[in-house]
Amino acid sequence: METTESHGDSLGLEVLIPEAGKEAPCCPHGPTLLFEKLSKGGEAPRRFYACSACRDRKDCNFFQWEDEKVSEERLKARKSENQLKRVGFTQQQQCNRFVKFASLAVHEKRFCQDCQLLLLPAEHGAHSAHSCAAVSTAQLRRPSTLLRPLENKKSYAQYLFTERSAHFLLDTVTALGYNMVLCVGTPRLHEFIKLRNLEEKQPLIKSLLLDIDYRYAQFYKQEEFCHYNMFNHHFFNGESSSAVLQAFLTESQEERVVMVADPPFGGLVKPLAHSFTLMSQTWRKLQSPDSDADMPMIWIFPYFFEPRILECFPSFAMLDYQVDYDNHPLYKHGKTGRKQSPVRLFTNISAKDFILPKDEGYRLCSVCERYVWSLNKHCNKCNLCPSKDGREWKHCSLCEKCVKPSWKHCTTCERCCLPEHPCSQSDETPGCFTCGSLKHKRRACPLRTQSRQLRAKPGMRKTPSPAVLKQKTKRKSGAARRAKKAAAAQSH
């Protein structure tokens, strides 16, 4: 929800992390999140519950004011509605089906594209009018190529790693000495791990996938997949499912585990950080009761969320590595002249232990002792490699720091800004809200289409705001504005 997490803004929404013991009402996606609408004047802020997973009211229309009295009848109706929306097969059934499916003869193995379902022979008839295709053993091992990415659905926007990024991640965690990977929203990484295990060249790596996309349950054993919502740390199959994570982390006492998460990019940094913290706590308790270590984590997210992530996890560092995706035309690697990906790795593992590939344009900065993007030149005055966005930044002696190449020092604002910024201190900025120009309004902005495309990137929740929030807020929150500005500024 791009309309969340405004930090102290007078407008917009903030998401509140639930107090222990206080239960939020449930929608089909588990406990909802509590949002606070900050008001402009002296009005008291209003709080309401809305779905944690869906940004589009079409996908989940749950809405309830915090102080709203909900009748028994309504609660009952809601409960049965939540049950109804639960998926067809239980996970146990899915596993049994998979065992059966795997033992079928080649010509019997079929996948229904309309239903996104592996079919057993007895079901072929019922799907005969659907578009069904044969499934090879190789395809069965690569569910992410068989399943249609949920990319038009705003809620679960699925952007799959390119081979290169998936291999980089896998090679990196192996090189760092991990042999267990907790894949949170990274189905393709999970799949790559399992494929590599088949090669039997390297030591085996154990992997557990936690994802909200239940279609993946068709392909994995119960101890390899949990139907999970990372915005509220909710396991859809309750205890039996959270026990799978518990067992995985228990095993990790002997082994070295790392979490790799690639959440939808729409914001909601706080609830994500909260879920990851809970996971880390579970891990820590299993390690040794009085350990204060954190579980090693890699959180994949756009660079312009750096301040927000560091606010939640001060020990994290952002790496220069640009993660790219197969099914996102804008977010490919920069080398061939295409747009550079803004997606980075945030981690609590020592940044200098990550060796970024030289042949992809990274170099070792011997002063910073870490690998950086080739255009990220070390600044002797700042004593660091300053670039965040992949471009070469330049030092401003007045600001006493390095700034984006497109910025110029403005003596009125007393800082570096885009040359065409609204040069006024007033809050009610006239002119364009996207690029800062005073010559036009946002509607007429030449960057608008471009920034719209940018917004439509991996999980970046689309504007206008989700219906549920749209009705409640007139303007976007600080987070949305910043994310958008960052996205727009990128193109300058």
Name the site residues for ligand SAH (rule: CB under 6 A): 53, 156, 158-161, 185-189, 211-213, 228-231, 262, 264
* Residue of this chain nearest to ligand SAH (CB atom): 185
C-beta of 160 vs 416, nearer to ligand SAH: 160
249 binds, among ligand SAH, Zn ion, none (CB under 5 to 8 A by kind): none
Smallest distance, Zn ion to C-beta of residue 415, A: 6
Q: 312: exposed, middle or buried (C-beta count within 10 Å: 0-12, 13-18, 19+)?
A: middle
C-beta of 146 vs 402, nearer to Zn ion: 402
| Ramachandran area for residue 361 (φ above 0: left; ψ -120 to 50: alpha; else beta) | left
Smallest distance, ligand SAH to C-beta of residue 312, A: 17
Smallest distance, ligand SAH to C-beta of residue 260, A: 9
**Can you name the residues that pair with 31 across neighbouring β-strands?**
26
Smallest distance, ligand SAH to C-beta of residue 205, A: 15
416 binds, among Zn ion, ligand SAH, none (CB under 5 to 8 A by kind): Zn ion
Question: Which H/E stretch holds residue 364?
Answer: strand 362-365
Count of residues making up the chain: 492
Smallest distance, Zn ion to C-beta of residue 216, A: 18
C-beta of 28 vs 187, nearer to ligand SAH: 187
C-beta of 263 vs 436, nearer to ligand SAH: 263
Smallest distance, ligand SAH to C-beta of residue 168, A: 12
d(CA 239, CA 347): 29
385: helix, coil or strand?
A: coil
147 binds, among Zn ion, ligand SAH, none (CB under 5 to 8 A by kind): none
47 binds, among ligand SAH, Zn ion, none (CB under 5 to 8 A by kind): none
DSSP category for residue 361: T
d(CA 132, CA 160): 23
d(CA 457, CA 476): 18
C-beta of 156 vs 303, nearer to ligand SAH: 156
354: helix, coil or strand?
A: coil
C-beta of 260 vs 483, nearer to Zn ion: 483
d(CA 197, CA 203): 8
Distances 172 to 33, 48, 208, 325, 332 between C-alpha atoms, Å: 35, 42, 18, 18, 20
Q: Which residues contact 435 (CB under 8 A, 6 or more apart)?
A: 418, 420, 445, 446, 447, 488, 492
d(CA 338, CA 450): 14
Tell me if 354 sits within 8 A of 322, measured CB to CB. Answer: no
C-beta of 326 vs 389, nearer to ligand SAH: 326
435 binds, among Zn ion, ligand SAH, none (CB under 5 to 8 A by kind): Zn ion
> What is the side-by-side strand order in the sheet with 13-16?
13-16, 33-37, 46-50, 63-65
Smallest distance, Zn ion to C-beta of residue 303, A: 18
C-beta of 111 vs 220, nearer to Zn ion: 111
Smallest distance, Zn ion to C-beta of residue 447, A: 6
Smallest distance, ligand SAH to C-beta of residue 327, A: 9
37 binds, among Zn ion, ligand SAH, none (CB under 5 to 8 A by kind): none
C-beta of 44 vs 122, nearer to Zn ion: 122
432 binds, among Zn ion, ligand SAH, none (CB under 5 to 8 A by kind): Zn ion
C-beta of 53 vs 418, nearer to ligand SAH: 53
| DSSP letters spanning 48-103 | EEE-SS-SSTTT---EEETT----HHHHHHHHHHHHHTS-SS-HHHHHHHHHHHHT
Smallest distance, Zn ion to C-beta of residue 133, A: 11
Name the residues that contact Zn ion, by CB under 5 A: 112, 114-115, 127, 130, 379, 381-382, 395-396, 398-399, 402, 409, 416, 432, 434-435, 437, 445
d(CA 472, CA 467): 9
Q: Are strands 408-410 and 26-27 parallel, antiparallel or unpaired?
A: unpaired
298 binds, among ligand SAH, Zn ion, none (CB under 5 to 8 A by kind): none
211 binds, among ligand SAH, Zn ion, none (CB under 5 to 8 A by kind): ligand SAH
189: helix, coil or strand?
A: helix
402 binds, among ligand SAH, Zn ion, none (CB under 5 to 8 A by kind): Zn ion
Maximum pairwise Cα distance, the chain: 75
Q: How many CB atoms lie within 10 A of CB 346?
A: 21
Smallest distance, ligand SAH to C-beta of residue 315, A: 24
d(CA 411, CA 396): 12
C-beta of 188 vs 377, nearer to ligand SAH: 188
Structure tokens, 323: 């993660």
362 binds, among ligand SAH, Zn ion, none (CB under 5 to 8 A by kind): none
